[in-house]
Structure 1
Amino acid sequence: MDRRVVLTAYVKRLTSLLVHAGINRAVISPGSRSTPLAYAFASSDQMETHLQIDERSAAYYALGLAKASGEPVVLLCTSGTAVSNYHPAITEAYYARIPLIILTADRPHELREVGAPQAIDQINIYGKHVKFSVDFPLPEENPDMEVFLDRHMNRAISAARTAPKGPVHINVPLREPLLIDFEQEEPELTYHHQIKGSSSLPKESVDEIYMLLSEAKKGMIIAGELPTGLNKELFWRFAKSLQWPVLCDPLSNLRSEVPRDCWELCIEHYDALLKSASFAAQAVPDTVIRFGAQPISKPLSLYLKNSRPATYLAVDESPFFRDSIGVVTHHIQAAPEAVLAIQVDKEATEYTRKWTTANHIADSLVETYDTATPGDEGAIAKLLFEHLPDGSDLFSGSSMPIRDVDTFFRKTGKDISIFSNRGTNGIDGVVSSAFGMQAARKRPAYLLIGDLSFLHDQNGLLVSRFHEYDMTIIIVNNDGGGIFSYLPQASVDNHFEELFGTPTGLTFEHIASMYDAQYAAVSSAEAFKIELEKAKVKPIRIIEVFTDRKANVEAHRAYWSSVQKGLD
């Protein structure tokens, strides 16, 4: 590896990202560690550089430039107390809402906190006086690092420009030698640009989005978790005009109340379909538009990461747009409705028919899914979803339950909303969150949760002693962490049960009794169905379903295999 080539590509990438975003002024405080970036800025035809030796004055100078122009200005300094001297002007910029992009060069990690000269703790040095702060990786030859740089630089720029405007801080560690190759070509960026609006978009942005959607040959809509109250009618009108397949995450709540004239476009079985490598290879899109977060499905994430669509538009109101797999090419910072108002009338294509046909195959296999396998949690989930009444809500646990929701919750004309804690995907606090949901929505509520997750938050039931609730809790008790049975750890017998299976041997009848909840324990799908159909006579009902981790894995894999065969 030629370190000079790598360093040059790194600093030229950062320069290109700034210029590409329309930021073309940099105020440089001379210093040694910042040499590569200073060279990159000075040698760029599109970057106007200003020198000010005194860092405190340099920062205020940049503040004046940004205040007068209304556009972000770059500040660059070396490591050590030079960084500290920027702080007064940064504080002013924060409270005056002036956009600054502060780049502070830093020592590499091995020279931090070991007594090296000009090395201070620069991480989060500006505290609450910046809107965004990130410590960049050292230069290396790594495509994932390039994706990281592209996305995080654009997040920083977007944060600086988003009301209230303000300063952002990017700490850049650099290892000697610090010289670059001025003749080296500019690197190719993996991200295009941001399209910004709010409840509506400017005409030039609408025209650009219209053109991108119009020119697509094989287009796809992805709907992740969306805000409550989204205008579903507007969403389906947008989808119908494009005639593109809509991959609906269960938390989008677009699998419910699906209009009949859009029924075919709603693709809910994409997780199972994309486990088929042959289908995934034949169904690669050239254009994707995503609303909301990246969906739960891991096969979908891998499919998108591997295929890398040429155009990937993410509609996300936050400047910190979500792109965990590094495929977004255009960030549309606006409310979903601003984009959904754009109508692009297209005809259904063979690409769309490929998806709808495959979805039919998978759906028929879910419809005829064998619920007689002892210990299978998929059968429990399927029966629960079929019995959810119109006008009810479901809260799902974050581990195996939400994946069973993704697999077995089929599109419906019923009004059923689904919720889950997927911000950090943790298993704690689920019971409490479900009760909070029910209190807000005042509709019959169901909670699908695993035994470990229920144990984490059994105190969440305390709230039922103070208020009235209508809650049915289904505890899937597989005596431990069921999701680990799907991971590579399960193939290693050594210590699997003690470290991952974590069986507790606990049941929950006594907990139900303590809270005066209606309780039943069942061990088969048939018994579960009978229990579901019984009258609910108490505000809180708990149905504990005993399952088997090994049988559950085998049943799920058999279903995925049947989908593969059906597609073949």
Structure 2
Amino acid sequence: MNPSTAFATVMVDELIRNGVREVVLAPGSRSAPLALALAQADRAGLIRLHVRIDERTAGFLAIGLMRGSGLPVPVVTTSGTAVANLHPAVLEASHSGLPLLVLSADRPPELRGSGANQTTDQLKIFGDAVRLFHEIGTPSKQPGQVAYWRSVISRAVSIAVGARTADPGPVQLNCAFAEPLVPDHLADWPEPLDGRTAAWTTVHPGAVSPSAVSPGPKTVVVAGDGASQSARLVAEAGGWPLFAEPSSRSRIGPSVISTYRLLLAASGLAAEIERVLVFGHPTLSRPVSQLLANPAVEVIVVAPTGRWPDAARRATLVAPALEVTGPDDPAWLERWQAADALARPVLGKLDGLSGPVVAATMGEAIGADGMLVAGSSNAIRDLDLAPVVPIRTVANRGLAGIDGTLSTAVGAALANAGPTYALLGDLAFLHDANGLVIGPDEPRPDLRIVVLNDNGGGIFSTLEQGAGEYAEHFERVFGTPHAVDLQALCAATRTPYQLVSTRDDLRAAVERTVAGIDVIEVRFDRSTLRAQNAAITAAVREALG
């Protein structure tokens, strides 16, 4: 067995021993030893392999698999620009704390910098975005190689999942493969290739001590992306209002204020807030950002890792966890609940298939058993205004980009045991249309994709540049109309497609059994978005008296 084949065999085996169950592969020549070892493991039922022709799509497919399963996922590429195409997914994994394992194939050092085909400097190509970079080195038959390989792989997985640091994130192992790149079995390997019965190295997590927080100041709990149930538990223990984003995994229970975004902008309650407890990574709401930047408000950030969100740089305390010493005066939460009850009917009166109506309709139709992948821009903000429904919602909020959304949804659906749905805008759909390109021999998910098509960048209509004084250049540089026929685009990949124009049609389309991938398009006129948002805020203000 040649060194490259031996190394690939050991790497795949050690990844499996460390809990890896899904692997994404983009094809290439230099990565052939790993590709063949992975295909063999897939055939043996030890892992599930997913092959994609586009490295960026492959990276975001891995993101989706991790969001759906919570397990580390390797993505394997060949050398050269293939590695660079993973950068957006690496950044998303870094900011979201996802254990992405980048296994980049490379030429041996003596062939680099020579002008050879597909060679570039891949060392630390992702900079500080990865928690670990390690250059494996050219495999050889020297004694101790197997222990070295297994130790490095085990350590890389441990660092990726945050076993000691509680700071999970992507890692890169740069793997130098020398020819021959295919098995030859012409020589015996000088030492056993098998390892211990489990992972080569087991890492135990460190202890986390909570900080005490007492009742008194008028407190609200903000739960951003990935906050988990800890935000809900703290809010309920203190009797405080909970402002939970859709992907926070804490948007449930009596403390949730479903219209918090509107109430912060339209009610006088916002001016009374004295303390904010921040969980996760809040990114959706300008009113929340303004609240966190208010110098009169105490900000406490809960972050079990060495990284924490504090965009306004106003946090007075960063704690690994919080322990509430006792419940607060219930009158504070009751006032927010009463305001929420007055504001909610305003959204219920919206006519037609506006974004909030589509989000609410999907929530009703999906139910608690489904999983929803939310695209960035308007899609997740529409969900943020929807009634509270206990749907597992995931989203790429680490950087809140629109790239890779379809592939993320495909990966999440492949990792999910139940039906999976995606809600995204037309630009996010077009940006990752390659995510619908899945080979005939690849595992296929059950995924229903709902596209909010306003023929361009609708979210910009609601921001400063959407004001009338900038109308002269708005359409070209912000609105960016594309006039793409989504039905024809779906037909190119033989993806079933349906256009809906009424709420009843949408409900019927979403409620159908999800079998395979299909697309539902809902069309909007984005020129009305700015006025619609202003009207909703005004109506809430009037309802509150």
Scaled by the length of structure 2, the TM-score of the pair is: 0.59
Q: Which residue pairs with 2:351 in the alignment?
A: 371
Residues of 1 paired with 2:380 and 2:509: CA distance? 22
- 1:327 maps onto 2:314 in alignment: yes
Q: Which residue pairs with 2:278 in the alignment?
A: 290
Distance 1:360 1:242, change over 3 A: same
Residues of 2 paired with 1:314 and 1:349: CA distance? 23
Selected match of 1:272 from 234, 238, 262:
262
Distance 1:553 1:461, change over 3 A: same
Aligned 1:461-472 pairs, distance under 5 A:
461-463=436-438, 465=440, 466-472=442-448
- 1:316 maps onto 2:316 in alignment: no
Q: Which residue pairs with 2:290 in the alignment?
A: 302
Residue correspondences, number: 348
- 1:222 maps onto 2:219 in alignment: no
Q: Which residue pairs with 1:402 in the alignment?
A: 380
Residues of 1 paired with 2:372 and 2:131: CA distance? 36
Distance 1:403 1:541, change over 3 A: same
Distance 1:495 1:330, change over 3 A: same
Q: Which residue pairs with 2:369 in the alignment?
A: 391
Q: Which amino acid aligns with 2:291?
A: Y
Deviation of the 1:528 alpha carbon = 2.3
Distance 1:242 1:453, change over 3 A: same
Aligned 1:130-279 pairs, distance under 5 A:
199-201=207-209, 209-210=211-212, 213-214=213-214, 216-226=216-226, 230=228, 232=229, 236-256=232-252, 258=253, 263=254, 265-276=255-266, 278-279=268-269
Distance 1:327 1:216, change over 3 A: farther
Residues of 1 paired with 2:207 and 2:318: CA distance? 15
SS at match of 2:371: strand
Residues of 1 paired with 2:491 and 2:428: CA distance? 19
Cα displacement string for residues 426-479 of structure 1 (whole angstroms, at most 9, x for unaligned residues): 111100011111112232111111111111100011237421211001111111
Distance 1:356 1:545, change over 3 A: same
Query: Larger relative contact order (C-alpha < 8 A, sep ≥ 6)?
Result: 2
Deviation of the 1:540 alpha carbon = 1.2
SS at match of 1:225: coil
SS at match of 1:275: helix
- 1:420 maps onto 2:408 in alignment: no
Preserved contact between residue 401 and residue 449 of structure 1 (Cα < 8 Å):
yes
Distance 1:237 1:421, change over 3 A: closer
Q: Which amino acid aligns with 1:566?
A: A
Deviation of the 1:303 alpha carbon = 2.1
Preserved contact between residue 451 and residue 477 of structure 1 (Cα < 8 Å):
yes
Residues of 2 paired with 1:489 and 1:295: CA distance? 20
SS at match of 2:312: coil
Selected match of 1:563 from 535, 540, 543:
540
Consecutive unaligned residues in structure 1, runs of 5 or more: 1-123, 133-161, 166-196
Deviation of the 1:402 alpha carbon = 1.1
SS at match of 2:326: coil
Preserved contact between residue 226 and residue 293 of structure 1 (Cα < 8 Å):
yes
Distance 1:549 1:237, change over 3 A: closer
Cα displacement string for residues 320-344 of structure 1 (whole angstroms, at most 9, x for unaligned residues): 3210112210011x2xxx43xx342
Preserved contact between residue 451 and residue 519 of structure 2 (Cα < 8 Å):
yes
SS at match of 1:267: coil
Preserved contact between residue 214 and residue 324 of structure 2 (Cα < 8 Å):
no
Q: Which amino acid aligns with 2:457?
A: G
Preserved contact between residue 517 and residue 540 of structure 1 (Cα < 8 Å):
yes
Residues of 1 paired with 2:263 and 2:360: CA distance? 18
% identity of equivalent residues: 29
Cα displacement string for residues 109-132 of structure 1 (whole angstroms, at most 9, x for unaligned residues): xxxxxxxxxxxxxxx9xx98x999
Selected match of 1:539 from 493, 500, 516:
516
Give 4+ residue runs of structure 1 displaced > 4 Å after superposition: 162-165, 234-237
Preserved contact between residue 241 and residue 336 of structure 2 (Cα < 8 Å):
yes
Q: Which amino acid aligns with 1:390?
A: A
SS at match of 2:452: strand
Q: Which residue pairs with 1:516 in the alignment?
A: 494
SS at match of 1:323: coil
Deviation of the 1:537 alpha carbon = 6.7
Residues of 1 paired with 2:166 and 2:398: CA distance? 24
Residues of 2 paired with 1:380 and 1:434: CA distance? 18
Cα displacement string for residues 359-407 of structure 1 (whole angstroms, at most 9, x for unaligned residues): 22222333x23233xx622222221122113211111111110111111
Residues of 2 paired with 1:464 and 1:251: CA distance? 30
Deviation of the 1:215 alpha carbon = 5.2
Distance 1:529 1:236, change over 3 A: closer
Root-mean-square deviation over aligned CA pairs? 2.9
Aligned 1:408-487 pairs, distance under 5 A:
408=386, 410-412=387-389, 414=390, 416-463=391-438, 465=440, 466-487=442-463
SS at match of 1:447: strand
Distance 1:280 1:387, change over 3 A: same
Residues of 1 paired with 2:346 and 2:207: CA distance? 41
Preserved contact between residue 237 and residue 326 of structure 2 (Cα < 8 Å):
yes
Larger mean Cα displacement after TM superposition, 384-393 or 541-550: 384-393
Q: Which amino acid aligns with 2:335?
A: K
Q: Which amino acid aligns with 1:356?
A: Q
Residues of 1 paired with 2:462 and 2:516: CA distance? 35
Residues of 1 paired with 2:427 and 2:454: CA distance? 9
Preserved contact between residue 358 and residue 567 of structure 1 (Cα < 8 Å):
yes
Deviation of the 1:532 alpha carbon = 2.8
Residues of 2 paired with 1:526 and 1:215: CA distance? 46
Deviation of the 1:523 alpha carbon = 3.0
- 1:493 maps onto 2:471 in alignment: yes
Residues of 1 paired with 2:373 and 2:314: CA distance? 30
Scaled by the length of structure 1, the TM-score of the pair is: 0.57
Residues of 1 paired with 2:479 and 2:231: CA distance? 42
Residues of 1 paired with 2:166 and 2:431: CA distance? 39
Deviation of the 1:513 alpha carbon = 2.2
Distance 1:496 1:430, change over 3 A: same
Distance 1:303 1:238, change over 3 A: closer
Preserved contact between residue 518 and residue 537 of structure 1 (Cα < 8 Å):
no
SS at match of 2:315: coil
Consecutive unaligned residues in structure 2, runs of 5 or more: 1-123, 133-163, 168-204
Q: Which amino acid aligns with 1:220?
A: V
SS at match of 1:448: strand
Residues of 2 paired with 1:237 and 1:448: CA distance? 28
Residues of 2 paired with 1:163 and 1:514: CA distance? 46
- Structure 1 or 2, whichever has the larger Rg, is 1
Deviation of the 1:293 alpha carbon = 1.3
